[in-house]
Amino acid sequence: MASSPILTTSLPQKQLTTSSSSAAGFRLPPPEKLAVLLDKSESVDLVKQIHAAILRRNLFLHPYHPVLNLKLHRAYASHGKIHHSLSLIHQTIDPDLFLFSAAINTASTNGLRDQAFLLYFQLLSSETVPNEFTFSSILKSCSTQSVKAVHTHVLKFGLGLDPYVATGLVDVYARGGGDVVSAQKVFDRMPERSIVSSTAMITCYAKQGNVEAARALFERVPETERDIVSWNVMIDGYAQHGFPCEALMLFRELLAKGRPKPDEITVVATLSACSQIGALESGRWIHVFIKRSRIRVNVKVCTALIDMYSKCGSLEEAVSVFNDAPRKDVVAWNAMIAGYAVHGYSQDALRLFDEMQGTAGLQPTDITFVATLQACAHAGLVEEGVRMFESMGQEYGIKPKIEHYGCLVSLLGRAGRLKQAYEIIKNMEMEADSVIWSSLLGSCKLRGDFVLGKEITEYLIRRNITNSGTYVLLSNMYASVSDYEGVAKVRSLMKEKTIVKEPGVSAIEVDDRVHEFRAGDRNHLQSKEIYTMVRKMSERIKSCGYVPDTDAVLQDLEETEKEESLEVHSERLAIAYGLISTKPGSPLRIFKNLRVCSDCHTVTKLISKITGRKIVMRDRNRFHHFVDGSCSCGDFCGPCKRRTDQILSDWSKKGKAGIWSRSCTA
DNA sequence: GTGAGTTGTT
C-alpha cells in the first residue's frame, strides 16, 4: 500500500541518517528512555526528533524496536497527526499484531473506515491471528451491512464472549437501523456484563424508541455501578423519543442522588427536553447550574442553551448566550438563525446569514437554508425566498431536500401563488410527503381556494397519503363554504378509516412545574378555578363583540355545543391557569403541540389587550407574541385580523379597556 | 507495548 505523499516528505526518513550516532556527536538515549520520552512528549516536533533518533538507532538495532514503533504510532495519533501515525505501519516490514490492532483502532476512531478495513485485510493475509483487541477496534468501523461478516470472524476465532468484543457487537447492532434482536442475542450470551455493555444495550433499546425496555435494564444495573454515561443515555433516550417530562424527572433524580456528577452531555440532553416542553424556568435553572458546577461551556452546550432559550420563548436570552459564546461553529449559527426565524425576526435571521459567511467565514449547510427559507416564509419575503432557494443549488452546490421544498411551497402558498406551489410539488425529484401537502392545503384554506384544495385532498385520500390534519383541513374547507353535507362526508370517512385527530395539548410552566392541558380537561387540581376563569374570559370578550368562529369545530354538534367546545380548547385552559396563578402583568408562555386555531388566535389577542399581559405562544409552526391586542405573526389569516380589529375598535369606543385586569387578576 | 458505551441545529 502506498503511503500518502505528505508523509514521505514530512516524516523523518532513513536516508537522512547516513552516519552512526557517534559520528553526529550525540549519545542516543537507550530505547527505554525514548519510550518514556514518547509517552510524555508534548509537541509533534519532539515526537519527530525522537522518531529521527529511533531511525538512527535502527542502523544497529535490527530489524526495529516493535515497542518503540507502537509508542511512536500512539504519540503521533495523540497529537492529531493521524496520517503520520498510520504511515508508520506502511513503512514497517512485517508489522506485529500490536501495531496492526493499534493502527486499526486509530483509523476507526478517526472515521477512516476504509483504511481500517484495508489494514484488517492486510493483517488477515499476513497470517497474523487477530485477537480481542483487533476486533474491538475493527468493530468501530463496521456498518450494519459489514457487521455480519466480522461477527462470523469473531466466532471463528472464538472471541464471541470477550466482554470488549461483545460490547462492540452490541454497539454496532444498535447503530443504523438498529438490529435489536441480534444485539440482544449477543448481550444475553455475555457471561459477565459490565456497566459499559449494559449501557450499549440500553442505547440500542432507546434508539428504537423502546424507552420501557431501556428503563427496565437501567433499573437492573445496581445503583452503585451506574456511571454518568448510563444516566446520559437514559435521559437522552427519553428526551429524543417523546418523553421530555420523564427526561427532566430523571435528571432531578440524578441531582437528588448527588452522584455521579452531571457532565456536558447530561446538560445538553436535559436542555433539549426543556426546549421540547417549553420549560423556560427549568432551562434557566440548568444554565445557572452549569455556571456553578465544573461543566465546561463548550460549543455544544452553548448551542443547546441557544436552542432552549429560543424554543422556550426567550429570544433575548438566546441572543445573549450566542453573543457571549467564545467559539461558534456552523451548528451554533444555525441554531441562532433558526431562533430568529421561528420568532418572526426575519431580517435578523437574514443579517446573521450574511455575517456567518462574512465575519465568521463559515459556509452555510442545508440546515442553514431551512432556517433562512423559513425566515422568508414567516415574513412573506417571497422574492428573497425564491432567490435564496435558487442560490442554494447554483451558488452553494447544496441539493434541496424535501424540507427546503416545504419552505418554498409554504412561502408561495401563503402569498397566494397556489398554482406555482402546486407545480413545484408535482415537479420535485422526490415523492411529496404529508407535511408538504398539508402546507399547500393550509394555504388553499387561507386563500379560500376551495376548488384546488378539494382536488388535492381527494387525490391524497385516493393515494392514501393522509394524516389526521388532511381530514381536518378538508372539513374546515367544506365548513367555510357552508357545505355541511361535505363536512358530514369527511366525518364519516374519518370514522370509517378510524382516523383519530391528534389531541391538542397545551402546556404552561408555573413555579418550575409544567402543567399540561387537553381540550375539556378536568384533571388539574385547580380545575374548578380554571373553568370559572375560562367562563369569565368568554363573557368579557363576548361583551366586547367577539363572536365564536364555530366553523373551526369538526364535530357534529349544535351551535351552542360548538361554542362550548371552542371555549375549552387546550390553550384557553392553559391561559386561564396562567391568569389565576401568576402575578398581574407578568407574561404568560404557552406551548401547543398543534397549530393554534384561528378562533383561539383571535381570543388570545383580545385577552392580551384586556389583561395587559404579554402572551407568548409557541405552536407547531412558530412563535406568536400577543401584545396589546395584536400578534407578531402579522395574522396568518386575513379574516382573523379583520375580526379582531373590528372588535377592538368597537370596544375602545365603549371605553371598556382595563376592566378585566382589575377584576380578574388580583 | 494495544481495546468498550453517551452529546447540538429543520
pLDDT at residue A556, as a whole number? 63
Q: How confident is the model at residue A20 (pLDDT cuts 50, 70, 90)?
A: very low
Q: What is the mean pLDDT of residues A54-59?
A: 69
Q: What is the mean pLDDT of chain A?
A: 86
Q: What is the mean pLDDT of residues A65-90?
A: 87
Q: Could you tell me the residue range of the domain that residue A597 belongs to?
A: 516-664
Q: Give the model confidence (pLDDT) of A105-138 as tens digits.
A: 999 999 999 999 999 999 999 989 999 999 999 9
Q: In the structure grid, which three cell numbers stand for residue A629, read together? A: 391586542
Q: Give the model confidence (pLDDT) of A603-614 as tens digits.
A: 999 999 999 999
- C-alpha span between A534 and A587 (Å, rounded): 18
pLDDT at residue A64, as a whole number? 63
pLDDT at residue A178, as a whole number? 81
Q: Give the model confidence (pLDDT) of A502-541 as tens digits.
A: 777 888 888 877 788 888 889 899 999 999 999 998 898 8
In a domain, A541, yes or no: yes
Q: What is the mean pLDDT of residues A224-235?
A: 96
Q: What letter does residue A362 receive in the DSSP assignment? A: -
Query: In this prediction, what percent of chain A has a pLDDT beyond 90?
Result: 52
605-644 of chain A touching strand B, CB 7 A cut-off: none
Query: In this prediction, what percent of chain A has a pLDDT beyond 70?
Result: 88
- Length A260 CA → B2 C1' (Å): 29
Q: What is the torsional sign of CA A484, A487, A491, A492? A: positive
Q: How confident is the model at residue A18 (pLDDT cuts 50, 70, 90)?
A: very low
Phi, psi of A183 (to 5 degrees): -60, -45
The better pLDDT of the pair A43, A255 is held by: A255
Tell whether the model's pLDDT for residue A207 goes beyond 60: yes
In a domain, A172, yes or no: no
pLDDT at residue A217, as a whole number? 97
Q: Give the model confidence (pLDDT) of A361-397 as tens digits.
A: 999 999 999 999 999 998 889 999 999 999 999 999 9
Q: Beta strands A588-592 and A615-618: pairing type? A: parallel
- Give the distance, in angstroms, between the CA of residue A251 and the centroid of all CA atoms in the same chain: 19
- C-alpha span between A345 and A375 (Å, rounded): 7
pLDDT at residue A393, as a whole number? 92
The better pLDDT of the pair A415, A464 is held by: A415
- C-alpha span between A54 and A75 (Å, rounded): 14
In a domain, A294, yes or no: no
> Is any atom of nucleic acid chain B found less than 7 Å from the CB of residue A163?
yes
Q: How confident is the model at residue A36 (pLDDT cuts 50, 70, 90)?
A: confident
Nearest nucleotide relative to A97: CA against C1': B2
- Length A620 CA → B10 C1' (Å): 12
pLDDT at residue A306, as a whole number? 98
pLDDT at residue A647, as a whole number? 65
Give chain A's domain count: 1
Q: Give the model confidence (pLDDT) of A544-600 as tens digits.
A: 888 887 766 666 667 788 788 888 888 999 999 999 999 999 999 898 888 888 888
- Length A271 CA → B9 C1' (Å): 14
Tell whether the model's pLDDT for residue A654 goes beyond 60: no
In a domain, A538, yes or no: yes
* Residues 6+ away with beta carbon under 8 Å from A629: A605, A606, A608, A609, A644, A648
521-580 of chain A touching strand B, CB 7 A cut-off: none
- Length A37 CA → B4 C1' (Å): 28
pLDDT at residue A130, as a whole number? 97
